[in-house]
Structures are given as C-alpha cells and as structure tokens.
Amino acid sequence: MNRARRARIVATLGPASRAPGTVKALAQAGVDVFRLNFSHGSHEDHAAALKAVRGAEMALKRPLGVLADLQGPKLRLGKFAETSIAVKPGHTMRFDLDPTPGDATRVQMPHPEIFKALRTGMALLIDDGRVRLRVGERADDWAEVTVESGTKLSDRKGVAVPDAVIPVSALTPKDREDLNFALRIGVDWVALSFVQKAEDMAELKSIVKGRAACLAKIEKPQALAALDSILDYCDGVMVARGDLGVEMHPEEVPVAQKTIIRAARQRGVPVIVATQMLESMTASPAPTRAEASDVANAVYEGADALMLSAETASGDYPLEAVGIMNRIMERIEGDPLWPSLMDAEHAGMEGYDADALVAAARKAGEASSTGCIVVFTTLGGTARRMARERPLHPVLALTPNPDTARRLALVWGLEPRLGRQPASLEEVTDDAVGAAMEYGLAQPGQRILILAGTPFGAPGAANLLRLAHAPSQAKSRTRKAG
C-alpha cells in the first residue's frame, strides 16, 4: 500500500470512526496517522481505537502512526446566577476570585495566574473571541474590564489572554494522567497543547523519555514569538489554526502558517496543518471550493501532513473527507508547478557527513533513470534528513524498529517499512534493491540510491551513499525482514 503522494493525512478518531472496520477503511482511503483527542472520550475508547489501528496496520502491511493529543489547561469564567448576562460595548464589570455566581457587575475568573499576568490595557478574549474586553485597573486577585465587542457572557466560557504569557504549566493533572495512559498503551506521538515557551516542551520530553515522539501545537502568539527555541525541543509541530485564529487577527493566521511551515522545514521537523481543513464535510459529502483551495495551498507550501478533526471524529462523511483530501493532494502534486516549489527551498547543511550525503542523494535522484531512494535508519534521523530535502522520487525508509516506522508515517514523502538490520554492504545492497522492487518503487533497470551508516546496526548518521540498479528480472531478497 504505497501512497501516490508525498504529503500525509492525519485523521481524528471518534464516535463516527473508531470501529475497527472503519479504521481499516480510513487507512485504505489514505490516512497515515490517527489522532486520539484526549479532550473527548474515555481511556477505554482510546485504547480500543489504538487496538483498531494496530489491527488495520497488520491487515494492510503498512506502518500507521498514532498521535495522542493532550487537552492542556482550560481557562474559563465561573458561573452566572442567571446562566448568562447581556453586554454591549462600553459595559464595565469586575472579574475576581469570588466563587459566588456572577451578575452584570461581576463574575468569578478562577485563575489567580491570569490576574498576576494581566496589565492595564491588555485585551481579554471570551468564548473564542466572541466577546472582547479591555483591562482597566487591576490587582493580583481582581480586574476591572470594559466590553469592546460582543453581546453575551455566559457560564464557563473560555478565556484567552493574547498579550501575556500565563504562568501555568502546559500539563494539567488530567494531562499527566492521560499522558501516562497514552504511553502505557503505546502511542507513537504526543501533542502538547497550550505551549507558550520552550520550557513547556522540555517538561514534556523529560516525562516521555523517548517512549514517543513529542509534538508542539502552536496555538498561541507567545509560542509563535518563541518558535525557534520551541523547535529545539520538538520532534514535530502543528499549526493549530483554530486557537491561533482566536488570539490573532484573521489576516495574521495565514502568515503564521507560512512562518511555522518554513521554520519547521528548515529544521527537518515534521509539520502538520490543522483545523477546519474540510470543515463543511462534517455534514456535507463535498467540500467548499475555498476548503479545497486551503488544502491545496498547504500542499504547495510543503507541509508534511494535513489533519482532519471533526470531519472524521464525529462527521457524517469520514471516508469521503479522507478520500477527497487524498484526491486534492494527488492532484496538486501532479501540477507541473509543484516540483519547482518543492525545489525552491532547501535547508542549509550543518557540516555533518549525513547532510552532504543527503544533498548528494537528492541531486543524484533528479536523473530520470532513478526509481527511488532507500534509506536504512534505526531511529529515523537519516530518513527525516532526506525528507527535509523534499526529493521528488519516493523514499523507502527501512528500519528494524516498529516504533521508528510508525513515527516516520507522519513525515513527508517517506514510505516506512520494517526490514532486517543488514550486517554487510552486500546485504545493504541486496535488501535495498529487493525491497524497492517488492514494494513497487523501482522498475527493472532503474537506478536505486542507497543511504546507510557504518558500522551496520549502530544508531547514528549515514556515512554511505551507494548506487545500485534494479535487475532486469526481479529477484527475491536474500533474507527475510525482521
């Protein structure tokens, strides 16, 4: 089951899609990584979903990744005596720590850390930005606010502070419990919400300890401002456009998307574009033209993966949503303009042997006689380096490690497969040629470029680039994968 495209698809599992038969059908339709959203569903639901993914993986003989998306802190107002109040521009009231149900003059905001971060003149956004407030006088346990736009405040609506770093851990007690569970059942990726600074990702990585790859969701302006330092601790990154769109002006979100994609591509860090990609397909069998263009633009930008949320988790047409996203991706990658866009930007070499070899492989791969590039990788580093170059030929990533194969399912252009650990140059060549032909990535007589590292079997960067040719008659591999 090779993909006829380089960009990858992430799909969220939920009530509409977590049944084993549906999971398998979604993978057949084009899903590469399945997302478990820990903001919804029970641990039992997520365990059953992961089991269904592993079953589909075995049936389709293709590694599939599983991403656990942690909820993160939820900053909310308290309750009103009458459930809600009407407001209009100019309305003034107080936010405080008093749990007494609120009215038109005051209401609880049960987050002392927000009060400590507020400054006079800052903006407060309530209910996904539907109500915008401006902070007046303040102290460490209250703030006077004035409504600038909006018509209603109601119970437990979310609070966003776009102008301040809130001194709160990105990992709540619920997140820590969910994280331990996710690692225990064997997820491949963990996504952290409410990232504001590099220390948030460092904390996550210190807990995970390599048991999964760690991904930062960039959903706050503070994270965008600290993007370079956050990427130092990331195995992957997500452009979380929904939350970014709450805390930033709408015209800034496309610029933020391009900034994040460009920075991630320079680092060779897989980047996902998420939120409302095909939102109308939650209730419609076809997307809007604007949504199709949105998907297309992310592919033109070179994003590693695009994510579906409600479309597959709770929508009426999960299979259709994946199928249409797959078709759009294939069509864009068939555009004669697309190769030049992928070739327009390459990361600078860092002086490592592997960088020089990867650049040479990409250049050599431009020959029309090339069938594919085969990368032998233990932990995935060489394969990710190769993907960073955005080669136009398929890249077969052979690894003896199932965890590595599943993590690489998220990465642009890679076809990860399990293979044995070769012990000699002859085995490297035989396995590369045999696998390339077995998976239909090279035709008889075509050139195969091979990247590997010596000593064989030792994790580390590649230091060997070899050219081989597929035989005119296919021959079997000398040893079985294992």
Domain identity same for 291 and 366: no
239, 245 contact by CB (below 8 A): no
Identify the CATH number of the domain in which residue 453 sits. Answer: 3.40.1380.20
95, amino acid identity: F
Would residue 132 count as lying in a domain?
yes
* pLDDT 10s digits, 413-423: 999 999 998 98
Whether 457 has a pLDDT exceeding 80, the answer reads no
What pLDDT is stored for residue 480 in this prediction?
Answer: 45
**Average pLDDT of the chain, as a whole number:** 93
- pLDDT of residue 479 exceeding 50: no
Is 244's pLDDT higher than 60? yes
Query: Are residues 359 and 432 both part of a single domain?
Result: yes
Q: Beginning with the edge strand found earlier in the chain, give each strand of the sheet holding 447-452 in spatial order.
A: 414-418, 395-399, 370-376, 447-452, 464-469
Name the domain count of the chain.
3
Based on the fold, state whether residues 283 and 329 are members of the same structural domain. Answer: yes
**Sequence-distant (≥ 6) Cβ neighbours of residue 172 within 8 angstroms:** 71, 72, 73
Mean pLDDT over 282-286 rounds to: 97
For 149-161, how does the pLDDT look when each residue is reduced to its tens digit (9 = 90+)? 999 999 999 999 9
Asked if residue 347 is part of any domain, the answer here is no
**180 in a structural domain:** yes
Residue 476 located in a structural domain: no
pLDDT at residue 116, as a whole number:
94
What is the rounded CA–CA span in Å between residue 4 and residue 440? 12
CATH of the domain at 237: 3.20.20.60
Rounded to an integer, what distance in angstroms lies between the CA atom of residue 409 and that of residue 421? 19
**How large is the average pLDDT for residues 125-151?**
96
Query: Which residues does the annotation mark as catalytic?
Result: 35, 76, 217, 275
Contact 354, 461 (CB under 8 A): yes
Report pLDDT digits (tens) over 21-49.
Answer: 999 999 999 999 999 999 999 999 999 99
Q: Are residues 427 and 445 in the same domain?
A: yes
Same domain? 286 vs 417: no
* CATH number where 122 lies: 2.40.33.10
Locate tokens 């998307």: which residue?
257
Q: Same domain, yes or no, for 359 and 431?
A: yes
Where does the pLDDT of residue 215 fall: very low under 50, low under 70, confident under 90, or very high at 90 and above?
very high
Residue where a domain stops, chosen among 339, 366, 381:
339
- Residue 382's Cβ-count burial label (10 Å; 0-12, 13-18, 19+) is buried
3, part of any domain: no
213 and 140 share a domain? no
Domain membership of residue 319 as a residue range: 8-72+170-339
Crossing angle of helices 43-60 and 173-185, rounded to 10°: 30
| Residue 350 pLDDT | 62
Measuring CA to CA, which residue among 373, 349, 350, 351 is closest to residue 362? 373
Please indicate whether residue 120 or residue 462 has the higher confidence score (pLDDT): 120
Give residue 148's pLDDT: 97
**Is residue 258 in a domain?**
yes
The domain boundary residue, chosen from 317, 339, 361: 339
**Which residues on adjacent β-strands are paired with residue 139?**
142
Residues 361, 448, single domain; the answer is yes
Give CA–CA dist 172/175, Å, rounded.
5
Q: Could you tell me if residue 78 is inside a domain?
A: no
- For residue 384, being part of any structural domain is answered with yes
Tell whether 96 and 152 lie within a shared domain. yes
Q: Which of 195, 294, 313 is nearest to 243 (CA)?
A: 195
> Looking at the structure, do residues 393 and 331 belong to the same domain, yes or no?
no
Which of residues 120, 142, 160 is at a domain's end? 160
For residues 286 and 463, give the distance between their C-alpha atoms in angstroms, rounded to a whole number.
48
Residue 193 and residue 288 in one domain: yes
pLDDT tier for residue 349 given thresholds of 50, 70 and 90: low
**One domain for residues 236 and 335:** yes
- Least confident span in 110-124, 398-412, 450-464: 450-464
